[in-house]
Amino acid sequence: MKSDNVKKGMQQAPSRSLFHALGFTKEEMEKPLVGIVSSYNEIVPGHMNIDKIVNAVKQGVSEAGGVPVVFPAIAVCDGIAMGHIGMKYSLVSRDLICDSTEAMAIAHQFDALVCVPNCDKNVPGLLMAAARLNIPTVFVSGGPMLAGHVGGRKRSLSSMFEAVGSYAAGTMTEEDVDEYVNKVCPTCGSCSGMYTANSMNCLTEAIGMGLRGNGTIPAVYSDRLILAKHAGMAVMDMLEKNIRPRDIMTKEAFVNALTVDMALGCSTNTMLHLPAIANEAGIELDMEMANAISDKTPNLCHLAPAGPAYIEELNEAGGIYAVMNELSKKGLLNLSCMTVTGKTVGENIKNVHNLNPEIIRPVDDPYMPNGGIAVLKGNLAPDTGIVKRSAVAPEMLKHSGPARVFDCEEDAIAAIEGGKIKAGDVVVIRYEGPKGGPGMREMLNPTSAIMGMGLGSTVALITDGRFSGASRGAAIGHVSPEAAVGGPIALVHEGDIIDIDINNNALNLRVSDEELAARRKEWKPRTPSVTTGYLARYAAMVTSGNKGAILKIPEND
């Protein structure tokens, strides 16, 4: 056992004395040491119940013959961090989570891990750590929130942000907004739509690192506790069989995850996280493959914000395995991939059926013949731009309009809520990329303001930042190269015509190559907005959004 390095032999007698201080018995010292990575805290609604999940995991590990040991991981609530400097710390927390888990696991020589994440960067950060450490690991999340109810309709956090825009437009009163405040987030759990947290928890199943129901069983259901116990048991089975994360997270498994991503219509943030996780597994995942996968993968689900259904309904319809079973009917998945169950994907989904064809469309009757996410390219985005196609109004799939240019999110929000953005405009928010932000802030406030102002079917938004999974509309993010490194988005002038053609994966600035070259000669890099602390170190090391915003040690000049 790996943990023998800290438990066995005369040289480790000092370590044994410290285990004695922890209250370990001699019998426990003979058993595998299983780290339980707990993301519990009292500031993130998706994490406030994780202490109960962790206790259930501990029971499962103990029953299966292991010794569970809990240690923490941080988590940022994107909803609370949204719209101010705190959002600069959201994406960057992913690497802190990964690095700190690596430190704890190796320093204490755990034999295996059970990771208990839930929210946006917590899930990919721990998946990155699992791939890096490559010891038997199972994931079980805290689970999704139940949908809220306002005026007889199901609602969620995206409705809350859009209500603020409606208030600015004068179509909602302060009392109306207060009703949303008190009703849209009724329980603990990750916010109830197919936002980033739930997207990543669902894709954890698709990639094979979580048990069935990991992404969909609501946080408040007792089935979530049962799942957690089974996760504890499963990791002990993996340890016995020596099944490791890199046996599961293969290139084929990531293609499966991208395929399920397209069928579900997940958050565009998956286009950042999947390549970052793959990188830790030693796999290069080129996001340009997403369009090829999208072209042959039907979109089977329209979950909030793309449609009126919520994660609880996806769970009742059969969950991710039911979606995967539908996809398998067209031969769209690699069924031989190994999973944490000790069985293959094909074995896992064999007898799981679609119980509600309105929530999970049959593969022969999809919402759209192609996937929910599109990668755009053109002279405005030579590398990539990402859009959640399934959440775009049909009339905005092709759009041309004048650029309204802003060098930060706050200025754009002021213009939108001040009535300065008109139908037909293309809002450009730049210098918000991984380096330029730094931290690649989410733009849920401006997209929600556009929707709340009634401009969702006439105004597009383009940024080198990114979007919350709760965003909807013609919102194109991850534009690469970003403005901070001189990407073409830095060269856009007020009033330039921008052509968007999502069906043909194109994003272009109607400006000649000669004019762009002249503008480039005049462009000067901006002084970094942050020069100290973690954000400064992050900005120095982070790569482009189209590479997953992974960190690399800067090369010497």
In angstroms, rounded to a whole number, what is the distance separating the alpha carbons of residues 210 and 339?
A: 8
**Which residue would you say has higher pLDDT here, 445 or 250?**
250
**How high is the mean pLDDT of the chain?**
96
Residue 185: what pLDDT? 97
The whole-model pTM stands at 0.96
Residue with tokens 């370990």: 24
Q: Which of 145, 150, 227 is nearest to 190 (CA)?
A: 145
Residue 375: what pLDDT? 96
Token pair in block for residue 227: 């799942």
Q: Mean of the pLDDT values across residues 168-184? A: 95
Sheet with 67-72: strands ordered across = 67-72, 33-38, 112-116, 137-139
Q: Mean of the pLDDT values across residues 128-152? A: 97
pLDDT band at 556 (very low <50, low <70, confident <90, very high): low
Taking the CB of residue 362, how many other CB atoms lie within 10 A of it? 12
C-alpha angle with apex 214: 298 to 253, nearest 5 degrees?
Answer: 55
**Burial call 143-169: b when 16+ CB within 10 Å, e when fewer:** bbbbbbebeeebbbbbbbbbbbbbbbb
In angstroms, rounded to a whole number, what is the distance separating the alpha carbons of residues 205 and 498?
A: 39
pLDDT band at 11 (very low <50, low <70, confident <90, very high): very high
% of the chain residues with pLDDT over 90? 94
Taking the CB of residue 189, how many other CB atoms lie within 10 A of it? 30
Look at residue 86 and tell me whether its pLDDT is greater than 60.
yes
pLDDT band at 219 (very low <50, low <70, confident <90, very high): very high
In angstroms, rounded to a whole number, what is the distance separating the alpha carbons of residues 132 and 106?
A: 11
Residue 288: what pLDDT? 83
Residue with tokens 């791939």: 131
Q: Which amino acid is at 313?
A: E
Residue 554: what pLDDT? 77
Which residues are known to be catalytic?
468
SS3 state of residue 40: coil
Look at residue 301 and tell me whether its pLDDT is greater than 60.
yes
**Which residue would you say has higher pLDDT here, 169 or 71?**
71
Residue 513: what pLDDT? 96
pLDDT band at 528 (very low <50, low <70, confident <90, very high): confident
In angstroms, rounded to a whole number, what is the distance separating the alpha carbons of residues 60 and 340?
A: 15
Look at residue 557 and tell me whether its pLDDT is greater than 70.
no
Look at residue 192 and tell me whether its pLDDT is greater than 90.
yes
295 with 384: CB under 8 angstroms?
Answer: no
For 466-521, the pLDDT digits (tens) are 999 888 999 999 999 999 999 999 999 999 999 999 999 999 999 999 999 999 99
